[in-house]
Structure 1
Amino acid sequence: MRAMYYEQFGAAPEIRTLSDPTPTTAGVVISVKATGLCRSDWHGWMGHDPDIKLPHVPGHELAGTIAAVGRDVRRFKVGDRVTVPFVSGCGHCMECRSGNQQVCEEQFQPGFTHWGSFAEYVAIDYADQNLVHLPEEISYETAASLGCRFATSFRAVVDQGRLQGGEWLAVHGCGGVGLSAIMIGAALGANVVAIDIAEDKLELAKALGASVTIDSRSVADVSEAVREVTGGGAHVSVDALGHPQTCCNSILNLRRRGRHVQVGLMLADHATPAIPMARVIAHELEIYGSHGMQSWRYDAMLRMILSGKLSPDRLIGRRITLSEAAPALATMDGFRENGISIIDRMI
C-alpha cells in the first residue's frame, strides 16, 4: 500500500510503498477513501505524543469501506461503509463497560498508538465496539471530517458543556474544532461568540452561525470583551485552540457558574497552564476536558446531519492528495488553514 511514513520526529515525511495490514481476530482492515489532516497529526510528527513509536504512519480521521474482517467480528462485513472515532476502546475495561470508550483504560488511536490512515489501508481492532456504520447519504469526505474535530466538538458542546438554546457560547480559536463548535452551538439555538486573530476565519465563523465575532488583536482584554457582548459572560466557553492564553481567557470570560471545556490539546511546553483558580472557586465555575466521542454517540450527531441541522461538509477547505499532504503536515503549526483539509486521493 502507499502511505505517508516518517522515521524521525520532525523529519520530512515520505510517501512509501509498505506492506498491507491484516486484521486481528476482532478487527478489520479499512480501505481508506478519505482522511482528514489535523493539527494533532502535526503534534505527533513533532514528537509531542509519547505513544508514537517510530517508524510511523500518521492519520486518525478516516472513512472508507471494510476490505477484510477478522473471524470474531459480528456487526460488520466486507464492503460496509464505515467511520471510526479517533479514540477507540478495548470493549472490556470498566470505562468501556460504562459506555465511556473515549477514556478507555487501554485505548488505542490510529495514527498515534498504531499506524494510521494516511495510507490506502488501515487496521482497526475491536471493530464491533468501535466502528460506526456510515449512511449512504453521507460522503466519505464529510465522514472523515467528523472523526476528530467535529465529533470532539459535538461531545464538548452537547455532553460536556450541556449547552442549551438561548445560552451564550464563546469559542476561542476558529480552526476545525472551533468552527465545528460554532456550527453545533448555533444549531442548538445558542448565541455564539467566535474569537480568533484571522479575519477570514472570523468571516467563516459568522457564516456558520456566530452571532458576534471578536478579533483578539483589536481588544485590550479578550475576556472582558466577551463579558461585555454577552451581558455578563458566556454560559459555556470552549478553548478550541489549546494555548495557555486561550485557556485562561476561556475561563475568565465565563459568567458565574459557567462551564469551561478544554478541547484544544495542551502538549509539550503548554501542558501545565496557569489556571485562575481563585475565579473558579469564587464563581463556582466548572472545568471539563473533552477527548473524542464514543461510537454509540455518533447516532445523535448523524441524525442532526441527515436532518440538515448540521452541515459539516461546509467546514471542508482543501481537498488534497496523499503526496500533497506530506509537505502540508509540516506547516500546520502556522494555523493558516481555513477549514478542514481532506485527503481524498491516495496518489
Structure 2
Amino acid sequence: MKAVVFQGPEEPMTVEEVDRPDCDDDGIVVETEACGVCRSDWHAWKGDWSWIGLMMTPGLVFGHEPCGTVVEVGDEVENVREGDRITAPFNMSDGTCRHCMSGRANICKRSVPMGFLPFQSGAYAEEFPVRVADQNAIAVPDGLDAVDVAGLGCRFATAFHGIAHRVSVDPGDTVAVHGCGGVGLSAIMTANALGGRVIAIDLDDRSLEMAEELGAEETVNVSEVKDVPQSVKAFTPNSRGVEVSVDALGIAETCRNSVNSLCKGGQHLQIGLTTSEEEGEVSLPVDTMVYDEREFYGSYGMPPHEYDEIFSMMEAGTINPGKIVSETISLEDVPDMVASMGEYDTVGIPVCTEF
C-alpha cells in the first residue's frame, strides 16, 4: 500500500509502497477515507518533543486524525465489525489504568500516540491499524461526512475537551483565544457554542476573519497593538480581564499573554505545545497568579466517551468542524503541506482525502 514515510528531522518525507498493517488480536485494520493534516506532524517532522521523551525515528508513518472503514478485525474484538465506519483518538489508551477507569482515558498511563511510534503507525496511508479496538475505535454515526470527522482530529477534540470539560465557560463569559490556527479556531467554535463571548487574537487578518465567521465577537491583531493583554482586557467590563483565556499556539509570548489577559479568578487553558525555542518551559507571572487566584489548565486530546457529545452537537448543527476545513489534498501533497506549516500560511485544517 502507499504511505507517507518520515525520513528524519526536516528531511523531505516520501510517498512509498509499504507493507499493509498487521491486525493484532485485540485490534482492527481500517481503510482510510480521510485524515487531517496537523501541526503536531510538523512538530514531529522538525524533531521537537525530545524533552518529553518522544524521539521520531525514520520509517514512521505519521497521521493521527483519521476516519475510515474497517476491513479486518482481530479475534478478540467484540464491538467492532468489518464495514463499520470509525475514527480513533490520536492518543490511544488501554482501558485498564486508573485514569481510563475514572473517565480520563486521554491521559492513560500507557497512552500510545498514533503515528509517532513504530508499533502504532498512522493514517497517512491507504490503511491504518487501531490497537485495543474495543477501547479506541469510535463508531461514526450515519450521515456524518468523513472530511468533517477527520476535521475533529486532535485539534478540535483537544479544544473541545479543554473548553467543555477542563475549564468552565458559562453563557456570557468572555473567552480569549490566542492563536487562530486549527486548534484555536476549534476553541472559538466550541466556546461560541457554549455561549461564550469570544475575543480572537492573531497576527494574520485572514485567520481573524475566519475567527469572526466562527463566532468571535472581537479581534486583536497583535502586529497592530503594543500590549496584547491590555488590548484584550479593553473588550471586557471595566477592563477587568476575561474569565477564560486559551493559548492555542504554544510559544512563550502567547502563553504569557493569555495568562495576563485573565481577570481575578480567571482560568488559563493551555492547548498549544511548545517548540524547540521553549523546549517545554515558559516563565509565568507566578505571584500575580497566586494573589489573583488565576488557574492554569492543560488539555490533551479527548477521552473516547466524549465523542458522543461532539457527534450529537454536530447532528444538531450546534458545531460544524467541517467549517474549519480549508482544503482537501492527496497523499502526494502531504509532505509539502506538513513542511509548510512552520510558515503559518495555512488557514484552517487541511484534510487528505485521496489515497
- Quote the residue 1:244 is aligned against: 252
| Partner Cα separation in structure 1 for residue 123 and residue 5 of structure 2 | 11
Query: 1:217: how far off?
Result: 0.9
Query: 1:101: how far off?
Result: 1.0
Q: Is the 8 A contact 2:326 2:349 kept in 1?
A: yes
- Quote the residue 1:119 is aligned against: 125
Q: Is the 8 A contact 1:235 1:258 kept in 2?
A: yes
| Partner Cα separation in structure 1 for residue 199 and residue 123 of structure 2 | 34
Q: Is the 8 A contact 1:84 1:132 kept in 2?
A: yes
- Quote the residue 1:159 is aligned against: 165
Q: Is the 8 A contact 1:22 1:68 kept in 2?
A: no
| Partner Cα separation in structure 2 for residue 65 and residue 147 of structure 1 | 16
Runs ≥4 residues deviating over 6 A: none
Output aligned runs, 1:79-90, within 5 Å: 79-90=83-94
Cα displacement string for residues 38-80 of structure 1 (whole angstroms, at most 9, x for unaligned residues): 1100111111132433321111000001111111111111110
| Partner Cα separation in structure 1 for residue 57 and residue 134 of structure 2 | 26
TM-score of the superposed pair, with normalisation by structure 2: 0.96
TM-score of the superposed pair, with normalisation by structure 1: 0.98
- Quote the residue 1:139 is aligned against: 145
Q: Is the 8 A contact 2:8 2:57 kept in 1?
A: no
Query: 1:314: how far off?
Result: 0.6
| Partner Cα separation in structure 2 for residue 342 and residue 72 of structure 1 | 32
| Partner Cα separation in structure 1 for residue 229 and residue 298 of structure 2 | 20
Output aligned runs, 1:289-300, within 5 Å: 289-300=298-309
Unaligned runs of 5+ in 1: none
Question: Match for 1:277: what amino acid?
Answer: V
Question: Match for 2:148: what amino acid?
Answer: T
Does residue 341 (structure 1) correspond to residue 347 (structure 2)? The answer is no
| Partner Cα separation in structure 2 for residue 220 and residue 267 of structure 1 | 24
- Quote the residue 1:129 is aligned against: 135
- Quote the residue 2:320 is aligned against: 311
Tell me how large the CA RMSD over aligned residues is.
0.9
- Quote the residue 1:22 is aligned against: 22
Cα displacement string for residues 137-180 of structure 1 (whole angstroms, at most 9, x for unaligned residues): 21111000102011111011010112111100000000100111
| Pair 1:54–1:142, CA change in 2 (3 A) | same
Q: For structure 1, which segment, 262-271 or 17-26, has the greater mean C-alpha deviation from structure 2 after superposition?
A: 262-271
Query: 1:286: how far off?
Result: 0.7
Matched residues, percent identical?
Answer: 36
Q: Is the 8 A contact 1:21 1:123 kept in 2?
A: yes
Q: For structure 1, which segment, 10-19 or 91-100, has the greater mean C-alpha deviation from structure 2 after superposition?
A: 91-100
Unaligned runs of 5+ in 2: none
Could you say what secondary structure the match of 2:161 adopts?
helix
Q: Is the 8 A contact 1:239 1:247 kept in 2?
A: yes
Could you say what secondary structure the match of 1:229 adopts?
coil
| Partner Cα separation in structure 2 for residue 219 and residue 338 of structure 1 | 22
